[in-house]
């Protein structure tokens, strides 16, 4: 599915959450943020290669549709809601050519507009150097994103079940 579509879908999902659901999602997003912080601390050498030596080549030549998931946008919108219109504008003006600079690079060069610990999953867990020593914090980031995916699916199914329950109870009252 296209990145633009996923982004708009993430907005719709976030807007439909009730206040307690929003709080649950926010708590989990804060856990993702903490795990990204821990990974960043542990990966200083690999990060040094990305930032100083290679200067973020990965961000300058990519297929955007293979980077962002629905969960990434829900995570970013939850912790950085003020970024919504900027993201929308950038995705709208982006020509979806294979291997172009990421639309979230300032001026197509960088830095990335997202804060270091509020980034898409693939952006923080991908290193081309040996990542053996940082497997643990990488796994923690991945697990937290899976948890967010499960939570959103669970909340969606709960809403559908409630809706069906209401429909059946109304239909039942007509049948009496």
In the bound complex, what is the minimum distance in angstroms from residue 90's beta carbon to ligand SF4? 10
In the bound complex, what is the minimum distance in angstroms from residue 5's beta carbon to ligand SF4? 17
The nearer residue to ligand SF4, 126 or 139, going by C-beta atoms, is: 126
Interface residues with ligand SF4 (CB under 6 A)? 49-50, 54, 56-59, 62, 67, 102, 104-105, 112, 114, 119-120, 123, 126-128
113-131 exposure pattern, b = at least 16 Cβ within 10 A, e = fewer: ebeebbbbbebbbebebeb
Residue with tokens 């999602």, as numbered in its chain: 25
In the bound complex, what is the minimum distance in angstroms from residue 151's beta carbon to ligand SF4? 23
135-156 exposure pattern, b = at least 16 Cβ within 10 A, e = fewer: eebbebbeebbeebeebbeebe
The nearer residue to ligand SF4, 24 or 94, going by C-beta atoms, is: 94
What residues contact 26, with CB distance under 8 A and at least 6 apart? 78, 79
In the bound complex, what is the minimum distance in angstroms from residue 168's beta carbon to ligand SF4? 44
The nearer residue to ligand SF4, 44 or 158, going by C-beta atoms, is: 44
């Amino acid at each position: 599915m296209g990145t633009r579509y996923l982004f708009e879908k993430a907005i719709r999902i976030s807007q439909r959450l009730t206040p307690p659901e929003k709080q649950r999602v926010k708590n989990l997003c804060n856990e993702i943020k903490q795990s990204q912080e821990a990974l960043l601390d542990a990966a200083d050498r690999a990060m040094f290669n990305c930032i100083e030596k290679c200067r973020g080549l990965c961000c300058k030549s990519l297929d955007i549709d293979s980077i962002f998931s629905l969960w990434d946008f829900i995570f970013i919108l939850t912790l950085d809601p003020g970024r919504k219109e900027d993201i929308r504008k950038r995705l709208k003006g982006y020509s979806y050519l294979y291997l172009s600079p990421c639309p979230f690079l300032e001026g197509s060069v960088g830095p990335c507009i997202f804060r270091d610990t509020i980034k898409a999953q693939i952006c923080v867990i991908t290193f081309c150097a040996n990542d053996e020593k940082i497997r643990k914090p990488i796994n923690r980031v991945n697990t937290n994103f899976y948890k967010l995916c499960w939570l959103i699916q669970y909340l969606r199914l709960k809403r559908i079940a409630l809706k069906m329950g209401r429909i059946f109870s109304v239909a039942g009252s007509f049948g009496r």
